[in-house]
Chains A and B, each alone.
Chain A
Amino acid sequence: MTIAATAPVTDERVAKKSTVSKLLGRPEIGALVGAVALFVFFAAVAPVFLQPGSIATVLYGASTIGIMAVGVSLLMIGGEFDLSTGVAVISSALMASLFSWYFSMNVWVGVLLALVMSLGVGFINGWILIKTKLPSFIVTLATFLMLTGLNLGLTRAIGGSVSTPSVSNMDGFESARAIFASSVNIAGVDVKITVFIWLGMVAVASWVLLRTKIGNWIFASGGDANAARAVGVPVVKTKIGLFMAVGFCAWVLGMHNLFAFATVQSGEGIGNEFLYIIAAVIGGCLLTGGYGSAIGGAIGAFIFGMANKGIVYAEWNPDWFKFFLGLMLLLATIVNLVVKRRAEQK
């Protein structure tokens, strides 16, 4: 018996999906539209906003959120989120600073130790999550509280104050500063190095996400962990790895904070975790996982940078910033939702 295989008439139906609707199907499209609108808006109300120096400042503001948003976006696509990221940045900076200062060592020893610790915190978050099967909200909320307490308690116990002693005259400070907190002069404008680190990390994350096995596993783990496991995807390793990637991002930003200011305030960082999550969500990552992009998170961070500095350039009261951010979050997510539904129907 033969079964008449209907000759696929593929092309005819593919043609229906135009380039425009394909573009509209991208996760970051809502954020992109919002970013362009916001840029035009601030350019109109505050001409100073368009000056190269201002743009460099906006980019710097975006990079300090964006570096973390890279890891947070990947984690969110992988189906989890992390509330401990804000204080984890400070923990990493404190670790490097206090260790080097207490033992009077080259700061690079502290820097490497901080990296190990940050990856370790990520590993523990992931490992507890997998072992207990608790939601990541609970596990990382606990980590957030514990790290907050440790930051304050240990800093006072070791350094005797709420902020760390300055490490600016210690061995290795200058070279570490050159890597984590210097500026690059481009056509007469000083651009902070974090902008380049940020863009580099976005590029690597996008590559990993779209062009490697691991990226496939991240999407699958977030989209449907059981289905992924059934076809042999190492879901446990993927999720733990994602938490460790977030830890790595926290380390990078923590080192920037340390070497930009030479001293760290132990109570800082609380609340920043929401900014990272907001950047990822504005950028089109689904809270439920399985959908999103690293570039989206970057655009989300850029929107944050623009809103943050644009308000200053427009000479408005910065008190309004949070309201503005909330509105952006709501609008961007609604646009994402509408665009996604449209694209799926076509």
Chain B
Amino acid sequence: MENDQITQETLLQGETDPLTSTPVHLLHLDKVGKHYGNIIALRDVTMAVDAGRVTCVLGDNGAGKSTLIKIIAGLHQHDEGTFTILGEERKLSSPREALDAGIAAVYQDLAVVSLMPIWRNFFLGSELTTGFGPFKRLDVDRMKEITKKELQDMGIDLRDVEQPIGQLSGGERQCVAIARAVHFGAKVLILDEPTAALGVKQSGVVLRYILQARDRGLGVIFITHNPHHAFPVGDRFLLLKRGKSIGYYNKKDITLEELTAQMAGGAELAELAHELEALGGHTDVVAEVEAEVGATEARRT
């Protein structure tokens, strides 16, 4: 499985490099690695992000997903490999620099102030003003209008942009955060586990907005541990485990079953069953684990 790494000649609408006029990726990571002291947090990760494409990063807790997005969002710097933005090699030193390069991250905790109205949240930190000198004031009408329009463009149907954002559901809040990133010029959107804390229906809502963002021409990096969320929206899938890439696939080269099996780690489950047996573990538990192993094997073949 590990040798199935794909080559990325399937670029569709990547920007062109004026010098060589070969297609270049919006973002490209080549054999990127990162270590903290003697702890290797990430190694040998290769992935690409293109406009109008969704790249999913899948992995369990501690797989290195956070480290990877921190490198892309400018919070950490990689030690190995190359990170290119539109073909130009970069090392981002701050989130500000990442933002200037058009990379916006929407984190799980969302960075919204729940008691404030939606429109104030939308423009927080980048308020529009009108007038001069001491009479410089917020352009309230324009901000409300833009907020409403931007959210409508994302297909978000809100009652009233004046209501506190805390009254929205988790999914709606995610969408406001996404719309905000899009409005302020993001070209690459990093979504950190946007569906992790949501119910089934709300997750569906967020997934729909991921596709909306994609259709508006953004390159989306969707981080999740749920293959069922990743598969329907993703174009490429990067699987991480213990800081290492265990596979990088195009959608046409993998099925949901294979993706799930890779995530679950069939071989490891089998090993666990043997171990439990050797320890004289409870037979029911062993039987259950074995059944699970059998099921994964069946799915793989």
- Which A positions have Cβ atoms within 8 angstroms of B? 1-10, 13-14, 17, 207, 211-213, 215-216, 219-220, 223-224, 226-228, 230-233, 290-291, 344
Give the chain B neighbours of A227 by CB distance below 8 A: 109-113
* A344–B164 CB distance below 8 A: yes
* Residue B136 CB within 8 A of the other chain: yes
Min CB–CB distance B244 → chain A (angstroms): 30
Contact with A along B116-158 (1 / 0, CB 8 A): 1000100111110100000011101000000010001111111
CA distance in complex: A5, B150 (Å):
13
* Residue B252 CB within 8 A of the other chain: no
Query: What are 27 A-B pairs at a CB distance below 8 A?
Result: A3-B208, A6-B157, A7-B157, A8-B158, A9-B157, A10-B148, A10-B158, A10-B159, A10-B160, A14-B160, A211-B138, A212-B138, A216-B120, A216-B124, A220-B124, A223-B113, A224-B112, A227-B112, A227-B113, A228-B113, A228-B124, A230-B107, A231-B111, A231-B124, A232-B126, A290-B116, A291-B115
Q: Which of A17, A211, A213, A223 sits near B116, CB closer than 8 Å?
A: A223
Per DSSP, chain B at the interface is loop
Contact A216/B211 with A228-B124, A231-B111 known, Cβ cut-off 8 Å: no
Given contacts A1-B215, A10-B158, A213-B138, 12 further A-B contacts (CB under 8 A): A3-B155, A3-B208, A3-B212, A5-B154, A8-B157, A10-B157, A212-B136, A215-B138, A223-B113, A224-B113, A224-B114, A227-B113
* A230–B127 CB distance below 8 A: no
CA distance in complex: A5, B215 (Å):
12
3 smallest CB-CB distances across A and B, nearest first, come from A5-B155, A232-B125, A223-B113
Closest to A344 in B: B167
CA distance in complex: A9, B129 (Å):
29
Best-buried of A212, A219, A224 by chain B (most CB within 10 Å):
A224
Give the chain B neighbours of A3 by CB distance below 8 A: 155, 208, 211-212, 215
What is the number of residues of chain B that contact chain A, defined by CB distance less than 8 Å?
A: 36
* A233–B155 CB distance below 8 A: no
* A233–B215 CB distance below 8 A: no
Give the chain A neighbours of B148 by CB distance below 8 A: 10
Closest to A288 in B: B115
* B157–A211 CB distance below 8 A: no
Min CB–CB distance A283 → chain B (angstroms): 16
Give the chain A neighbours of B164 by CB distance below 8 A: 344
Give the chain B neighbours of A223 by CB distance below 8 A: 113-116
Give the chain B neighbours of A220 by CB distance below 8 A: 113, 116, 120, 124-125
* B155–A17 CB distance below 8 A: no
Q: Which of A4, A13, A14, A233 sits near B124, CB closer than 8 Å?
A: A233
Give the chain B neighbours of A8 by CB distance below 8 A: 152, 156-158
CA distance in complex: A4, B148 (Å):
18
Contact A212/B215 with A8-B152, A227-B110 known, Cβ cut-off 8 Å: no
Contact A212/B137 with A220-B124, A227-B111, A231-B111 known, Cβ cut-off 8 Å: yes
Give the chain B neighbours of A226 by CB distance below 8 A: 109, 111
Contact A228/B125 with A3-B215, A291-B115 known, Cβ cut-off 8 Å: yes
Give the chain B neighbours of A2 by CB distance below 8 A: 215
* B111–A230 CB distance below 8 A: yes
CA distance in complex: A256, B135 (Å):
28
Give the chain A neighbours of B208 by CB distance below 8 A: 3
Give the chain B neighbours of A290 by CB distance below 8 A: 113, 115-116
Closest to B164 in A: A344
Give the chain A neighbours of B154 by CB distance below 8 A: 5
Give the chain A neighbours of B138 by CB distance below 8 A: 211-213, 215-216
